[in-house]
Amino acid sequence: MTRLLLAALLAFSAPAQAQDQETAEDLLRSMSAAELAALIERVRAPTPDEQAFAGLPQDLQLMLRDLPLREALRKVEFARQNLIALGTPDPSPERLRAMLQTVLAPRYAAVQSASAGATSFPPLSPLVPAISLEGR
The predicted-structure confidence for 57-99, as pLDDT tens digits, reads as follows 999 999 999 999 999 999 999 999 999 998 888 999 999 999 9
Same domain, residue pair 98 and 36: no
Query: Taking the C-alpha atoms of 67, 104, 53 and 84 in order, what is their torsion angle to the nearest 10 degrees?
Result: 150
pTM for the whole thing?
Answer: 0.51
Query: Taking the C-alpha atoms of 68, 73, 75 and 78 in order, what is their torsion angle to the nearest 10 degrees?
Result: -160
Same domain, residue pair 6 and 69: no
Same domain, residue pair 52 and 36: no
Higher pLDDT, 125 or 14: 125
Same domain, residue pair 75 and 100: yes
Same domain, residue pair 14 and 65: no
- Asked if the model's pLDDT at residue 27 lies above 90, the reply is no
Same domain, residue pair 90 and 127: yes
pLDDT tens sequence across 112-122: 554 444 555 55
**pLDDT value for 9:** 42
Same domain, residue pair 26 and 83: no
Domain that holds residue 117: 48-134
Same domain, residue pair 53 and 37: no
Into how many domains does the chain fold?
2
- Asked if the model's pLDDT at residue 18 lies above 60, the reply is no
